């Protein structure tokens, strides 16, 4: 049997599963994993009792024994090609930074959600202290430069995400955490102390953490 793997930062899956998904789990609830990769995350959702469907652009990388749908997340209406909804849970773990239109991606996520459904997504935190320092010194975005994953093309900036992206996509923020909650796992240890010290004097709610962990719901008419 092919081993299921992930390229996400070490510990991120465990954090999201334990801190966010587990409290939402309802046996038999329909869940959709966007950007399924090998299927490892989908199998972890299944272990909590969800009835899981996985979707990704690349079927050759998928090896889990779960229903799979091929979908291009750059298509404006990719949600129309995904059956089995609406879903109580839609996840996108480290996906939105890979798509050409983050707002379009969010809008499609909303279309896939049940009226009371929840979307959970993660993405690199480009507002943290190391990212601010990197941009100040090099004019390049942390985890998005030439040394990073080549398909990282859409950085998510916290202010724009809340003020512009979510309203345009018809979604609202229901929860937000940072991973790790203190410090930075992908910053070299010899620099971490300086980043934490600098963070104590800078403003902003996203100074710490390598990744955003977001819980979203549909914005329903008043």
> 164 in a domain, yes or no?
yes
- Residue 44: Cβ-neighbour burial (10 angstroms; 0-12, 13-18, 19+): buried
Domain count, the chain: 1
Long-range contacts of 72-75 (CB under 8 A, 24+ apart): 73/34, 73/35, 73/98, 73/99, 73/105, 73/108, 74/99, 74/100, 74/101
| Cα radius of gyration (the chain) | 17
> 64 in a domain, yes or no?
yes
Enter the tokens of residue 60: 């050759």
Please give the pLDDT value at position 27: 92
| Torsion (CA) 188, 205, 122, 191 in degrees, nearest 10 | 0
CATH for 106: 3.40.50.150
Enter the tokens of residue 175: 């929860």
> 7 in a domain, yes or no?
no
> 81 in a domain, yes or no?
yes
Instruction: Identify the band that residue 7 occupies on the pLDDT scale cut at 50, 70 and 90.
Output: confident
> 192 in a domain, yes or no?
no
* 106-148: pLDDT as tens digits: 999 999 999 999 999 999 999 998 899 899 999 999 999 999 9
* 57-89: pLDDT as tens digits: 999 999 999 999 999 999 999 999 998 779 999
Nearest to 128 by CA among 24, 53, 204: 204
Tell me the residue range of the domain where 100 lies.
Answer: 12-125+150-187+208-218
Please give the pLDDT value at position 222: 47
Please give the pLDDT value at position 30: 97
Please give the pLDDT value at position 142: 92
pTM over 0.75: yes
> 4 in a domain, yes or no?
no
> 103 in a domain, yes or no?
yes
| Torsion (CA) 148, 153, 155, 160 in degrees, nearest 10 | 170
Q: Which of 109-113, 180-184, 186-190 has the highest mean pLDDT?
A: 109-113
Within 8 A by CB and 6+ apart from 166, the residues are 106, 172, 173, 216, 219
> 194 in a domain, yes or no?
no
Cα distance from N-terminal residue to C-terminal residue, the chain: 50
Minimum mean pLDDT among 147-161, 172-186, 205-219: which range? 172-186
Question: Mean pLDDT in the chain?
Answer: 91
Q: What is the rounded CA–CA span in Å between residue 113 and residue 170?
A: 11
Quick one: DSSP state of residue 185? Answer: S
């Amino acid at each position: 049997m092919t081993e299921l793997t992930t390229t996400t930062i070490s510990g991120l899956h465990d954090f999201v599963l334990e801190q966010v998904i587990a409290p939402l789990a309802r046996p038999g609830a329909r869940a959709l994993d966007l950007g399924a990769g090998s299927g490892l995350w989908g199998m972890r959702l299944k272990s909590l009792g969800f009835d899981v469907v996985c979707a990704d652009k690349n079927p050759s990388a998928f090896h889990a024994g779960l229903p799979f749908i091929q979908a291009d997340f750059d298509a404006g209406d990719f949600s129309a090609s995904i059956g089995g909804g609406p879903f109580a849970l839609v996840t996108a773990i480290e996906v939105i930074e890979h798509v050409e239109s983050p707002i379009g991606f969010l809008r499609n996520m909303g279309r896939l959600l049940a009226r009371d459904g929840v979307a959970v997504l993660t993405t690199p935190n480009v507002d943290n202290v190391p990212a601010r320092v990197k941009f100040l010194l090099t004019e390049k975005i942390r985890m998005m430069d030439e040394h990073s994953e080549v398909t990282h093309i859409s950085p998510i900036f916290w202010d724009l995400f809340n003020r512009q992206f979510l309203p345009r996509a018809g979604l609202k923020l229901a929860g937000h955490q940072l991973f790790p909650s203190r410090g930075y796992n992908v910053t070299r240890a010899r620099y971490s102390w300086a980043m934490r010290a600098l963070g104590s004097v800078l403003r902003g709610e996203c100074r710490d953490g390598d990744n955003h962990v977001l819980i979203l719901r549909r914005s329903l008419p008043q």
